[in-house]
Structure 1
């Protein structure tokens, strides 16, 4: 490589990452890639042009210009790529612009294009922040732009989905993030799934989770109260709570109740002390009155403020 302006090494003195100021062409299994070497463009990030694993394989590469990458699931535009240590493709970022006072999320979103992607559940068209792959090239997850939502075919039928979708390597859906409250059948009865404080950073670990045999593994709810009576006649109940809003001293925001299921039990808020045997307990579910129009969604940034 030529034009190295900054460089970092591993302990064995092999190159860990570097920044370039001259054009280089890097040979890869996806063709010749040109790492970023000119940062003068308004939206170019000041980041490493290319980074490596200790074995010399590319770990990530910021591209000078957007290119097309062909995969088993379609052809996608890319400005930033990451790879597994064995050289297989890990993530594609169609855009990789720098957000600042001069270049906002709205500006970046205006450049996003609809992309066709072939999934195990059908062919879809999304505006994507990134696509995450397994080393086998099967799609692991997709992350949507904050404004995007799409009707996804799930084990519970079609559900309007935001933030993203994750998959098992065999193509079955592992998790989604519902755009609206949705009633789902669980091992303790019908619950209304919705996470009002979903962060939306990526689509890899969403709140509504499924097992490979299509059973609900986990969900969050802001509209159900669950009363439990164990075999000894002891009673306990769980429901969403409230906390001080991070946006206003005069308001409170709801904290969803997290519920997980195993083969034999139900767990509340990921606490092992709040785990109950499904066969030894009775569960009574109450629907709470919730004004969804007043629910604060997690902060989306100043340019697209959701209050």
Structure 2
């Protein structure tokens, strides 16, 4: 008989159960990791490298329609303009060849997809012919996507062969003839804002940095007014308006007040080229974005 000091071996079925549990735990970990990597790969990012080319999304903006500013009459379509009922997403890109050999790039590699129906739009302006980029050569490209009315989320993607990268998520602005949302008069009537969610909108889906730069880097590149000290400066723009109210009214009507100074201490463009965010944001998103703008700035 074994002595009391000897360790009794565990039953064989307990060993098997332990091995099965460890195997299941490892499988769950691997599946979770794979899903996390897949989710990260599908998140929009403004820069990507596919099949030997690097692409950077410089700017994406929905262009105004004549009726956006109150014109009731249907104006004749100009050559190259979107057809009646469509809205154009203008996209500026830079493409760079880091390789030691020439590489081809075609504007038709960019596509706009609708998440719910799977509809796809190719560039309607900007050309379709392929370009051959020599080693270390950079190419600037401006494309336009004409989109019919849809409330669905849209994704700007870059596809080369079997590789694909998401560059931007956006929504088509409401039609000028659609019933406008009932925006309150005072910013205080919006839901409580979340500055972190507003930062995600500013730096992500809305691509505000393409014009205003990073508010935490006041000396960084930009073409529009600086927003790094908006909590203070915004309160001085219009007498009687707080910085939050000024931001709110400017987002609803960008032409109501034009900032006096843009990049390089030059006057800002008239009319404003800023999109009509009252058509694309929910009240909660509006509150989040304003909360981010009026939060005292730290380096991000």
Relative to the length of structure 2, the TM-score reads 0.26
For the pair shown, which has the larger CA radius of gyration, 1 or 2? 2
Query: Which one scores higher on RCO, CA 8 angstroms, separation ≥ 6?
Result: 2
Q: Which structure: greater helix fraction?
A: 2
Q: Which structure: greater strand fraction?
A: 1
Relative to the length of structure 1, the TM-score reads 0.25
